[in-house]
Amino acid sequence: MDQIIKGVKLRLYPNRGQKDKLWQMFGNDRFVWNQMLSMAKTRYQNNPRASFINGYGMDTLLKVLKNEYPFLKESDSTSLQVVNHKLNQSFQMLFKHRGGYPRFKSRKATKQAYTGKSKVSVVAKRCLKLPKIGYIKTSKTNQLVDTKIKRYTVSYDATGRYYLSLQVEVPAPELLPKTGKVVGLDVGLADLAISSDGVKYGTFNAKWLDKQVNKWQSAYAKRKYRATIAVRQWNHNHKTVKEELNDYQNWQRARRYKARYQAKVANKRQDNLQKLTTELVKQYDVIVIEDLKTKNLQKNHHLAKSIANASWYQLRTMLEYKCAWYGRQLIIVKPNYTSQICSSCGYHNGPKPLKIREWTCSKCGVHHDRDINAAINILHKGLKANG
């Protein structure tokens, strides 16, 4: 039976001792990254013609580092190898001019994580056994039945919660029955997706959550500013006992509340996209979408937040893997002139401002809804390209 790789995310509930171990392992990964990056940087400064030490060379240096810094032995050894692999990838992207120079990692970063490749076993319905950590409480592990765990990542995010992300190998799902239907999709802001059949799929509603995010973002900024002023005044007046910003908990509490509401918005958006893409894949054999460059579109500061909130790239990604799983075909076409061409006669009616949502073809006289007309043109392009 064919196998596929999918991701599973679980909530972790570590006790106090396990939290200390997790933070030690977060720190060890960060320490190895910074040490390897520093050595690579120094090596280049001393001899620019020296060959770059790849991931395997870094793994060899790990033995020396562990002898010099015994605390590194408290980490899962595979997690330190993953750090070297990621650093090597960052340099390879730099050499191909597809990324910037790797940066040093800070212990003050909001999100901390480490990734390992050792064996993770399911002990009970809500319990797993992690390398170097032992038995740890989790959320439900029903999703891990009949799976093979390939890689795991333990993370701590801004909400103050611990998560376990697993890369698992599972049997491929059964192919969906053929429906004989095809559809073109035009994405938008007022409506997330508009089909060539005339159906408009709206965006999710999170007005109350957005209001809470703005409220706590404002509270966080004000509290942190007041704490910063208080720290400076104290340190100016007291030369022996110094304070740090982290000694003030009020602004950190606001940061956690802000992060949790932001996470709720993200989860609601994710849930909406999952339901929409599953519905589309069940209904249509062929789905045609436009290849939008969201990074370029977000340069418009008036629409950047709305475009980011629509998550067009996530929609495309979900359609890609779900079509691959269930035997559907996804066609991606260029969006050029799809809003300007009449889908009835093919006449090019010229560019139109965004505020014009309906228009009439000057040649054949057919009245069009701008978005539905674009979706039909996208479908025609996809079917033509596919032969």
pLDDT per 10-residue tile (average), the chain, 387 residues: 86 96 96 95 90 89 93 94 95 92 92 93 92 94 88 93 94 90 87 88 86 95 95 89 88 93 92 93 93 64 63 88 92 87 86 83 86 90 83
Q: Name the catalytic one among 290, 291, 320, 358.
A: 290
Tell me: do 141 and 201 sit in the same domain: no
Q: Name the catalytic one among 20, 59, 169, 186.
A: 186
Tell me: do 183 and 99 sit in the same domain: no
Tell me: do 314 and 349 sit in the same domain: yes
For residue 345, what pLDDT is reported? 87
186 given a catalytic annotation: yes
Tell me: do 33 and 159 sit in the same domain: yes
- Measured CA distances, 236 to 222, 231, 243 (Å): 21, 8, 10
Tell me: do 129 and 212 sit in the same domain: no
- Measured CA distances, 289 to 278, 323, 368 (Å): 15, 13, 20
290 given a catalytic annotation: yes
Tell me: do 122 and 239 sit in the same domain: no
Choosing from 169, 199, 225, the residue where a domain stops is 169
Choosing from 169, 192, 209, the residue where a domain stops is 169
For residue 211, what pLDDT is reported? 94
Choosing from 122, 149, 169, the residue where a domain stops is 169
Tell me: do 379 and 284 sit in the same domain: yes
Q: How many independent structural domains does the chain possess?
A: 2
Tell me: do 157 and 77 sit in the same domain: yes
Tell me: do 240 and 271 sit in the same domain: yes
Q: Name the catalytic one among 146, 244, 358, 371.
A: 371
For residue 55, what pLDDT is reported? 87
Tell me: do 188 and 136 sit in the same domain: no
Determine the structural domain holding residue 211 and report its residue range.
174-386
Tell me: do 194 and 341 sit in the same domain: yes
Tell me: do 136 and 250 sit in the same domain: no
For residue 292, what pLDDT is reported? 76
